[in-house]
Amino acid sequence: MSDYHDSWLENIRMVAHELKTPIFAARGFIDLAENLGPLNEKQEQYLGRAIDSLGRMERLVLLILQAARVDSGKAVRFEELNIANVIERDVHQLEPFADQHNVKLHVELGAGLGLLRGNIDSLSQVISNLLTNAIKYSKPNDGGSVWLNADGDDQWVTIVVRDDGIGISSEHLARIFDRFYRVENGKQKIEGVGLGLYIVRALVEQHGGVVSVESAVDQGTTFTIRLPRIAKPPESVVDEAASA
Ligand SMILES: Nc1ncnc2c1ncn2[C@@H]1O[C@H](COP(=O)(O)OP(=O)(O)OP(=O)(O)O)[C@@H](O)[C@H]1O
Ligand SMILES: [Mg+2]
């Protein structure tokens, strides 16, 4: 990577990092305002909107920091982890988001899942980015479904996230893993910046795995992730056992 690219990335990362402080402060002041006494309906509504906006800003900052981190090739720790627990936790965290979108989550975890060598935060990020997409690109006003199926054999753990949402046309499909690539979805503006899948692919590859996608417009999309059971960490990745 060029020096220019390195310093640009570092500056973006620094700005994103600096944004955390004012976001945190604004949240604190909203909490204080809420404690001042009974609020009227309008005050409550406006503060609620401010909190939502801050939440979105926070998510954006986190995505930028994660993208910058994967681009930097910085070390992450690998450990033996129970992938079913990671999946269950992520699903649980996204249940309210699915409810908001009127989407039903169906999860099936096979007996072959077992243990996997990897980085818990990275894998959790992969699963939640895919689930978030599957939920938010559901068909509007049409109570869709999202299925997460996972199982494993001696060598591979396979995680499939499928939805019956709006789908992706073939001209876009090849580019959705590109950094900042988004599909224009017509009238309805769906929030996002186009970093989620870029991060997914980078993190899966960090584990020596592969991600693939199939989709049909108006029918739905299926992402399949295959992770080697004993992930051999790339050179830039620190193995906990080796570094202990
Ligand atoms: N399950 C899905 N169904 C339909 N389209 C999808 C799905 N997942 C991804 N896409 C398309 O691929 C694009 C890239 O996805 P990606 O997750 O990288 O970015 P995003 O969701 O737009 O923003 P964010 O960075 O907040 O995740 C999306 O803008 C969307 O058009
Ligand atoms: Mg996304």
**Cα(139)–Cα(219) distance, rounded to whole angstroms?**
9
Output the furthest CA–CA distance in the chain (Å, rounded). Answer: 60
Residue nearest to atom 1 of ligand 1 (CA): 134
Q: What is the pLDDT of residue 145?
A: 97
Cβ–ligand 1 contact at 173 (below 6 Å):
no
What is residue 222's predicted lDDT score, i.e. its pLDDT?
A: 98
Q: How far apart are CA 80 and CA 91, in angstroms?
A: 21
Among residues 185, 225, 188, 186, which one has the least CA distance to residue 205?
225
* CA nearest neighbour of 2 among 10, 48, 184: 10
The owner of tokens 């959705």 is: 176
pLDDT at 244: 42
Classify 47 as helix, strand or coil.
helix
pLDDT, tens digit only, all 244 positions of the chain = 567 667 777 888 899 999 999 999 999 999 999 888 888 999 999 999 999 899 989 988 999 999 988 888 887 899 999 999 999 999 999 999 999 999 999 999 999 999 999 999 999 999 999 999 999 999 987 789 999 999 999 999 999 999 999 999 999 999 999 998 999 776 668 888 899 999 999 999 999 999 999 999 999 999 999 999 987 666 555 555 554 4
pLDDT for position 140? 83
* Nearest Cα residue to atom 19 of ligand 1: 194
pTM score above 0.85 = yes
Q: In terms of C-beta density within 10 A (0-12 exposed, 13-18 middle, 19 or more buried), how is residue 26 classed?
A: middle
How far apart are the CA of 199 and the centre of ligand 1, in A?
A: 11
Domain spanning 78-228: CATH 1.10.10.10? no
Q: How far, in Å, CA of 69 to CA of 82, rounded?
A: 24
Q: For residues 97 and 103, give the distance between their C-alpha atoms in angstroms, rounded to a whole number.
A: 9
Ligand 1 pocket, mutate which of 126, 133, 146, 203 (most atoms under 8 A from CB): 133
d(CA 77, CA 120): 9
Domain boundaries, the chain: 3-72, 78-228
List the Cα angle 51/56/57 in 5-degree steps.
95
Cα 140–142–147 angle (5° rounding)? 100
Q: How far is the CA of 237 from the centre of ligand 1 (A)?
A: 27
